[in-house]
Chain A
């Protein structure tokens, strides 16, 4: 550190206080990083800060975009400058350990694996020297955490995938991925709520509607939920789709 540089929490060599690095994203937004790696600890802090900011909103803060280990805060330039808002948010961050979080929900997502619903199942199995059955077993045996919702409404980033299943995304994305498709990419997995372009490898499809405007809690999954996938037959898939 040279003279004139400002000390921040991030520079302090301690693990006791919550370290946070602030960066300017635009003239009306800033990013808070709770680490430079995807860790449960960093994500826990993101979720706590989002929860606290929802419980005690800061006037002039217009939007929050949580992610794995960072939070984008959009604000009103009439009310805040970056450095003023940083000071205010650091007060919030100082209280994170005392934030009472709601009990995480355990959500079960039925999935019909393979066939036309999971066009990449066989390839993923072959890439790892596994049988498709073993891929399904691995995918359904873990309990995943919803790190955050992003990309499109209701798309939950779930982790972590079993190490044996970690697979790069498709070299070039599909133009259309059907709604309900269950995919994997890197060490993440997720369900496409809408028909969108997408580069994740598709293992199956869920009959559930991930995002519905006529439901309380528009998104089936919320940040912080725990999720398990449950394999279902084609017949059961059709039945569930009807209800």
Chain B
């Protein structure tokens, strides 16, 4: 089995796939990639199923040795990757020769970069998923962020008889994302939201603050949630809130009137009022937000949210999303 040796883990690197849905009754949130669009595309670039497990790096990337080589792609934010010293393009598959070292640095754009390799990362699944759930120490590689010296196994590559092998995934061609489509999938700083289940508890004045002002992402921003700083929201007029199920991307108003966006490793239930909810089409953008980023909320209807989601999925399913580059595979 081919492996990846972790020479340096980076700031916070975990194994993630598209997460585990369906275990809310056990209190288990889905987890999974913070930027699922980047993961899905990265997997397709190397000929994997969209849901294969890959490495999610946060703000500062790691250094990885490939003793037996690999077919790989980097998607999401640009972490200034270099293969044995030669710079690599994002959103393009590349071949790693046996013994080569991939080094990533600090981010040049958003919060997260994905390293996808052909065959995916193989770990013992927990509730059907390879995703790491950091808070409970479950899933992924020993339930934790990677450390120096960890050795990750990669799954078998695409067999020669697979349709993929005729489409250039073998060795001699590289795949890249069509720039035009990629542009339309770029992370947004204006997050579109629908109203939340307790919207009615908040006054028009509070709405004016939430939708009129700008907020910046605090240092307390992780896979569980992102605490925002900005103009405080006048407290909603309501009785006591009873804990209830919370949805991904919920904008809950904590004491002090500051919004928190609940994210992929969210608690499954909570007792704060939710004034809005980030639309599904913009959840990947949340995964690319860094501390100090300035964001704004824009309210849309449920119908618009649904339309935007459908459009995004159509783009992701489009045959033109990935094209073969004319030259050889990027080599160092």
B-binding residues in A (CB < 8 A): 23-29, 31, 33, 36-38, 50, 54, 62-72, 74, 77-78, 81-82, 148-155, 157, 193-194, 196, 211, 213, 218-219, 223
Contacts and interface: CB of A to CB of B under 8 A. Distances in A.
Contacts of A69: 242
Contacts of A24: 194-195, 197, 302
Nearest to B196: A25
A27 B26 contact: no
Contacts of B260: none
B74 interface: no
A153 B246 CA distance: 15
Given A81-B306, A150-B27, A194 B243 contact: no
B250 A152 contact: no
Given A31-B245, A66-B24, A148-B25, 7 more contacts: A26-B196, A62-B21, A74-B24, A151-B269, A152-B267, A153-B27, A196-B135
Contact of B136 (A64, A71, A193): A193
A154 B138 CA distance: 12
B97 interface: no
B26 A218 contact: yes
B48 interface: no
Interface residues of B, number: 44
Nearest to A68: B242
Nearest to A210: B27
A91 B325 CA distance: 53
Interface in B96-152: 126-127, 133, 135-138
Interface of B: 21-28, 30, 126-127, 133, 135-138, 194-197, 242-250, 267-270, 274, 277-280, 302, 305-306, 309-310, 313
Given A69-B242, A196-B135, A213-B126, A219 B27 contact: yes
A70 B244 contact: yes
B312 to A, nearest CB: 11
A68 B244 contact: yes
A27 B279 contact: yes
B244 A152 contact: no
A28 B308 CA distance: 12
Given A26-B194, A66-B24, A153 B245 contact: no
A66 B245 contact: yes
Nearest to A33: B244
B26 A37 contact: no
Contacts of A194: 135-137
B26 A153 contact: yes
Contacts of A31: 197, 244-245
A45 to B, nearest CB: 14
24 contacts: A26-B277, A28-B247, A50-B25, A62-B22, A63-B24, A64-B24, A64-B25, A64-B245, A65-B244, A65-B245, A66-B245, A67-B269, A72-B246, A77-B309, A149-B26, A150-B243, A151-B268, A151-B269, A152-B136, A153-B27, A153-B28, A154-B26, A219-B26, A219-B27
